[in-house]
A and B are shown apart, each in its own frame.
Chain A
Amino acid sequence: MTALLEIRDLKAEVAGRQILNGLSLTVNKGEIHAIMGPNGAGKSTLSYVLAGKPGYEITGGEVLLNGEDLFAMAADERAAKGLFLAFQYPLEIPGVATLTFLRAALNAQRRKRGEEELSSPDLMKRVRELSKKLGIDPDMLRRPLNVGFSGGEKKRNETLQMALLEPLLCVLDETDSGLDIDALKVVANGVNQLRAPERGMIVITHYQRLLDYIVPDVVHVLAAGRIVETGGKDLALQLEATGYAQYQGEAA
């Protein structure tokens, strides 16, 4: 069976500095992988490289998404093929209503996949259903995207986008950052509803806390641009106790 995501010996630079140093990782359909690691280890860099953010140069290795060469696809194609990145700091777009953004994103993806666009009434219906399911105030749909949203609202909005776009691979970068425990529970609950046999997830976090609510199948430690340890969900608990100091020495 083809893995959903296959990362082999990935090396990448940003601003002339090598950040990823031969990173390998396999995610199968239906699995949730947690990536933990100290600040500056390269966790966000990995998510941006996968998503195709400009400014990141691939200097080695390869990545296959459902068996296809990821780096042969433009960033928007990757999205249309089912790659979704939940941003650590979701961006604001003044003057663009959340619903307008959702419509633009979904229909752009559908066009790219050669599917018919969703009509406005159908979209409205679908978005309303999902909002209800995720505990999102429908009023948010009319507000300009992320403008003046609280940290919790922003992350809930990312979850809503994810639910609507139905990606195959979700990469969640520090979804827990800036959330109090109640907001964290709501967002985690949303993410858990999106668990599906066809879908894989990579949950990036610095703290173990999130993993109490989104329980992973596999836990990896990323340090100095490589996966340095892999284990079950108790690895997270172990890290909580020991910290990352033991990995800080891992050289590039």
Chain B
Amino acid sequence: MAAVQETIEQVRRIDVEQYKYGFVTDVESDKAPKGLSEDIVRFISQKKNEPEWMLEWRLEAYRRWLTMREPDWARVNYPKIDYQDLYYYAAPKKKKELASLDEVDPEILKTYEKLGIPLREQELLAGVVRPEGERRIAVDAVFDSVSVATTFQKELKDAGVIFMPISEALREYPELVRKYLGSVVPASDNYFATLNSAVFSDGSFVYVPEGVRCPMELSTYFRINEKNTGQFERTLIIADKGAYVSYLEGCTAPQRDENQLHAAVVELVAMDDAEIKYSTVQNWYPGNAEGVGGIYNFVTKRGDCRGDNSKISWTQVETGSAITWKYPSCILRGDNSSGEFYSIAISNGHQQVDSGTKMIHLGKNTSSRIVSKGISAGRSQNTYRGLVSAHRKAKGARNFTACDSLLIGDQCGAHTVPYMEAKNPTAVFEHEATTSKISEDVLFYCVQRGLSQEEAVGLVVNGFVKDVLQQLPMEFAVEAQKLISISLEGSVG
């Protein structure tokens, strides 16, 4: 058998059966009745003790959503979703309000432990001498619809940084949330974002005040556990003038035969001279080898470079989900602002990925950079969809785009759909694209040196995505590198 053929076989056999986050946690949960209605929206808002305006905002979104049509322009196929057959709210049952992490259901803590997410900050802090320079990461863990724990709250507070579940922020800092919520992704933005606006249950809120450099990486870890439950989280991050924050997002879900819907909204706001770095390692359950089950990941992520000299950088490693529909974007409003999008999208089995970015140049001398690495294996389809546009007044807009696709096997597809529109004659847009097949000769060279076929594919792919991996914070890069190998070969990480 030819080497590449062998790889294809291997990939086909192992693919998603190797999903190691597929376990289910046994916790009792509080659920709203199935289906979607104004009453459900009210139920969610009430559960969260939200201010009246928030309920109104949700209801308006809900009514709007009823008039909208599900988009069908992406290169993805899936059976029609029955929105009345989903649960819109599920929370692990708890006996009383949690006063500390000790009161979190031990089953949930175990889940995060299994996932390698350190929630027990007290253990981390317990007098253990840390190696010089080791960074700490504050974690917000979202389990189904609610946030179960946020670590390092006090230390962050001392620095003036607000990092908490958005449901809590709505109670503690309602005016701050109100000022920014929906200011980047309006409630009416698109079908899934509008749905999210109506029913979002939790997510993270971050506010970094003027001149503050957030003292540690912030991270949210999303986990869908319940069956038939949609997850609609909402993240809002604001970096005020001159502030800096690096935020990491990770996600997994148990292995189930039904498809699960994940429709998140992430909004970023960077004021004058502020910088936000947002990194994602997405590893939702992709479905099994026959394409049954898996997460539908329909996500709206957008950053607004609202201030002059502001910068927003998206880095994503997408390995999971049955279907991915996701275009983290930047609105370059402030003069001299810049946006970046670094992406690794891996598809295997029957996965379908339609992902890319939009860079909207509005201010003067704005710049953007797009580096996309798509890897398709198995019978998957992987599409890069990008839009770069310069407004009439966007004098001196610059963009550089590089899209590289790597094919493993001959039953998968890679597609590149770049749109460019420059309404200002001074705009300079550069675009490069390549598509290549993984080389049998290169694999043999590696195997001759002692690497297994799987290790060889992992090595070549990791080389292919190196430019993007380098953008990730160190700890994440290592994790991502392992994940890439696992999702392609099933070699035990």
Contacts and interface: CB of A to CB of B under 8 A. Distances in A.
A105 B451 contact: yes
Interface string B71-88: 000000000000000000
Contacts of B447: 52, 75-76, 79
B460 A53 contact: no
B462 interface: yes
B444 A93 contact: no
B450 A105 contact: yes
B444 A101 contact: no
Contacts of B93: none
A101 to B, nearest CB: 7
Contact of A53 (B6, B444, B453): B444
A54 B444 contact: yes
A10 B473 CA distance: 54
Which of B6, B448, B467 gathers most chain A CB within 10 Å? B448
Given A53-B444, A80-B450, A95 B462 contact: yes
Contact of B1 (A54, A80, A87, A144): A54
A104 B451 contact: yes
Contacts of A94: 463-464
B449 A161 contact: yes
B46 interface: no
Contact of A95 (B6, B451, B453, B465): B465
Contacts of B453: 76
Contact of B455 (A85, A93, A100, A104): A104
Interface in A173-225: none
Contacts of B449: 79, 101, 104-105, 108-109, 161, 165
Interface stretch (B55-63, B199-207, B348-356, B434-442): B434-442
Nearest to B461: A95
Contacts of B446: 93, 101, 104-105
B459 interface: yes
Contacts, number: 82
Contacts of A79: 447-450
A149 to B, nearest CB: 14
Contacts of B464: 94-95
Interface size on B, as a range, is: 20 to 34
Contacts of B459: 93, 96, 100-101, 104
A245 interface: no
Contacts of B450: 76, 79-80, 105-106, 108-109, 112, 165
Contacts of A93: 442, 445-446, 459-460, 463
B2 to A, nearest CB: 5
A95 B448 contact: no
A90 interface: yes
Contacts of A90: 445
Nearest to B449: A105
Contact of B3 (A51, A54, A95, A101): A54
Nearest to A75: B447
B69 to A, nearest CB: 42
B2 A91 contact: no
B460 to A, nearest CB: 6
B466 interface: yes
A192 B441 CA distance: 28
Nearest to B3: A54
Contacts of B439: 91
B452 interface: yes
Contacts of B463: 93-96, 144
A92 B451 CA distance: 16
A231 interface: no
Q: Which 9 A-B pairs have CB atoms at the shortest separation, nearest pair first?
A: A95-B463, A95-B466, A109-B450, A96-B463, A105-B449, A79-B450, A91-B445, A108-B450, A54-B3
Interface of A: 51-55, 75-76, 79-80, 84-85, 87, 90-96, 100-101, 104-106, 108-109, 112, 144, 161, 165
Interface of B: 1-3, 6, 439-442, 444-453, 455, 459-460, 462-467
